[in-house]
Amino acid sequence: MWTKEELDRYHRQMILPQVGPEGQEKLKRSSVVVVGAGGLGVPVLQYLVAAGVGRVGIVEMDRVELSNLHRQVLYATEDVGKPKALAAKERLLALNPLVQIDTYPVRLTSENALEILKPYDLVIDASDNFPTRYLVNDACVFLGKPLVYGAIYQFDGQVAVFHHLTPEGEMGPCYRCLFPKPPPPGSVPSCAEAGVFGVLPAVVGSLMAAEALKVLLGIGKPLAGSLLLYDALEAQFRKLSLRRNPACPVCGDHPTQRELIDYEAFCGL
Q: What are the pLDDT digits (tens) for 69-114?
A: 999 999 999 999 999 999 999 999 999 999 999 999 999 999 999 9
Residue 141: CA atoms inside 13 Å, Cβ hemisphere, count? 26
Alpha helix ranges (H) inside the chain: 4-9, 11-14, 20-29, 41-51, 84-95, 113-117, 130-143, 175-178, 191-194, 200-217, 263-266
pLDDT over 90 at 184, yes or no: no
**CA gap 130, 265 in Å, rounded:** 11
Q: How does 209-246 read in b/e, with b if 16+ C-beta sit within 10 Å? A: bbbbbbbbbeeeebbbbbbbebebeeeeeeeeebebbe
| Alpha-carbon gap, residue 269 to 267, rounded angstroms | 6
**Angle at which helices 41-51 and 200-217 cross, to 10°:** 40
Phi and psi at residue 160, to the nearest 5°: -155, 165
Q: What is the pTM of this model?
A: 0.96
| pLDDT tens-digit map of 240-250 | 999 999 999 99
pLDDT above 80: residue 223: yes
Lowest mean pLDDT among 4-8, 58-62, 172-176, 194-198: 194-198
